[in-house]
Amino acid sequence: MGKSMDRGVEDRWLEARANLLALVGGREPVTCLIPEWESVDLAMGLRWLQASIYEGFLVGYQGADDGAGVTIRFEISEP
């Protein structure tokens, strides 16, 4: 993998992380729903997001606050 591709992947990860943290906005608790996984906390959700981006997958997410916490639902697909 070339340097420019590494930078592009790193930039995608940093942007996705910043956007997700902005969506959460410091609210707790956070539950992440990852396809075919048990629910996980935000730290594990971020690790999964990073790994998926670095592996070249397209990853999206939606967030909802039900008043008792934030739920992030991840989606993943091949490019």
Question: How far does Cα 37 stand from its chain's mean position?
Answer: 14
Helix orientation angle between 42-54 and 3-24, rounded to the nearest 10 degrees: 150
Q: Where are the beta strands (DSSP E) in 14-57?
A: 30-33
pLDDT confidence of residue 1? 47
| Between 66 and 71, the higher pLDDT residue | 71
Q: Are 50 and 13 in contact (CB under 8 A)?
A: yes
Burial of 44 (0-12, 13-18, 19+ CB in 10 A): middle
Tell me the pLDDT tens digit for each residue of 5-25.
578 999 999 999 999 999 999
Distance between CA atoms of 17 and 15, rounded to whole angstroms?
Answer: 5
pLDDT confidence of residue 6? 78
